[in-house]
Chain A
Amino acid sequence: MSALIEFKGFNKFFGEHQVLKDIDLQVRSGEVVVILGPSGCGKSTLLRCLNGLEVAHGGSLTLAGKELLSKATDWRQVRQQVGMVFQSYHLFGHMSVMENLLLGPLKVQKRERFEAQAQAEALLARVGLLDKRDAYPRQLSGGQQQRIAIVRSLCMNPQVMLFDEVTAALDPEMVKEVLQVIQGLARDGMTLLIVTHEMAFARAVADRIVFMEAGRILEQSAPESFFTNPQTARAQQFLEKFSFVESLPKTPHKELS
């Protein structure tokens, strides 16, 4: 089967500064790809290029066979297929949870309210937050807001979900509730691109690890081989920084305990 997402010779500049260099990356439908790498290596930029929040400067990027780097690309259409969840949730503060969830389905996709609302309620129930449907974001904890933000993207029925360090702003006790939601999506066979600093989670959830440094992809491998036997010296150094890597179990846990 051909790739759902394909970067080929992909380049991105901020002014003179090249932040993505000759990126080649294929993601198959249903695959879970975790992107690792030191701060500033271009992980966020890579994700943001995929839903048009950043403009690319060369190479090719296709989604389901369609070239996205053409002038004719309708990014509003693409964004409905590519959901994005941010580090700081960014729910709309002036809207209740349900209004947050329905804005896209009703205004962008012009769906029927009863149908969109039924879906939103089912998804809220799935992340355990149905009782918060009328709350405002400020009344919710970070972990709750992040789960709502994930549901907001899911309500658009995307083909792909992008997660950019979605637990980095959370208190430790809330990290798990968010990661469990993402793991559930992975188990359902959704295509996911995940940037995270949670190494145990990366190892457990990934089908493939992509290691980046200074705008390049240095290594792509299965999680077990990446974590036990990284091919590049840079990846080795990177992993050594996460000292708890040693304490990881030798076999992947498919469940977060």
Chain B
Amino acid sequence: MSFDVAFILSTLPAFLKAVGVTLQVGLIAIATSLVVAVINTAILVYRTPYLQRAVGLYVELARNTPLLIQLFFVYFALPSLGLKISGFAAAIITMTFLGGAYLTEVLRAGVEAVPAAQLESGRSIGLSEGQLLRHVILPQAGILSLPALFANFIFLLKETTVVSAVAVPEILYTTKSYIALYYKTYEMLAVLTLICVLLFLPLSLLLSRLERRLQHGQFGS
């Protein structure tokens, strides 16, 4: 078996772009998932009738169905209802659907870990329930759930490879395209593996350092 290094070099610009797309999908999805999770957590904390039920149902549904099937539903089923969307939009919507559910679980666990005494202490100086959530509960829940939150960020970034199935030109899609066109299977899989290692491992290390810094800064040593 010969290993075509020249071919690999010729694909690098395309892969560089693909890494950009992966990061773009991943980071946007993380941000939108966080927004969804904060809203859901507020609904759960206030035990909002009906909405609370809906959030519970959503979390179960999103976590217990395969991402690929969610993606196909958004990309192929929604257009038949008259909603035409691009592969990129479908990717973001689906990743948010999944990520929102996971991050809701993470934040909810964080909120439950905030001692009840902190809430009483906040109420006793006259904070409203909204102020309590904003200034006491969410910051503390955020810090308490940082490790789980960051683990889920990495998880979501890795899951972006699934959106290759709807022709979003991220790293896996780019790999598969080259294999289909040129049959350079080993070379392309090697590149993909290398990219995964170079991309996710440093990110993971970076996040765990950030986590220590944040926890130190927030709580003192």
Contacts and interface: CB of A to CB of B under 8 A. Distances in A.
B131 interface: yes
B118 A84 contact: no
B10 interface: no
Most buried by B among A90, A135, A137: A90
Interface residues of A, number: 29
Contacts, number: 71
Interface in A165-214: none
A153 B221 CA distance: 26
Interface in B107-129: 117-118, 120-128
A86 interface: yes
B151 to A, nearest CB: 21
Contacts of A53: 120, 123-124
Interface in A31-81: 51-53, 76-77, 79-80
A104 B131 CA distance: 10
B126 A77 contact: yes
A61 B140 CA distance: 35
A138 B127 contact: no
Given A94-B139, A94-B143, A103 B117 contact: no
A80 B127 CA distance: 9
Count class of interface residues, chain B = 20 to 34
Contacts of A125: none
A217 interface: no
A92 B118 contact: yes
Contact of B131 (A94, A107, A136): A107
Interface in B26-53: none
B183 to A, nearest CB: 56
Contacts of B128: 76, 108
Interface in A128-154: 135-139, 152-153
A156 interface: yes
B136 interface: yes
Contact of A104 (B118, B125, B139): B125
A50 to B, nearest CB: 11
A93 interface: yes
A107 B121 contact: no
B11 interface: no
Most buried by B among A91, A92, A138, A152: A92
A108 B125 contact: yes
Contacts of A91: 121
B213 interface: no
Contacts of A51: 124
B117 A156 contact: no
Nearest to B125: A104
A94 B136 CA distance: 8
B121 A138 contact: no
B214 to A, nearest CB: 10
Instruction: Please list the 9 inter-chain residue pairs (A to B) with the smallest Cβ-Cβ separation, ordered nearest first.
Output: A136-B220, A90-B121, A104-B125, A108-B126, A79-B126, A84-B124, A80-B126, A76-B126, A90-B117
Interface of B: 117-118, 120-128, 131, 135-136, 139-140, 143, 218-221
Interface of A: 51-53, 76-77, 79-80, 83-84, 86, 88, 90-94, 103-104, 107-109, 135-139, 152-153, 156
Given A79-B124, A139-B220, 18 more contacts: A76-B127, A76-B128, A77-B126, A80-B125, A80-B126, A84-B124, A86-B117, A86-B124, A90-B117, A92-B121, A92-B140, A93-B140, A94-B140, A104-B125, A107-B127, A108-B125, A138-B219, A153-B125
6 contacts: A90-B117, A94-B219, A104-B126, A108-B126, A108-B128, A135-B220
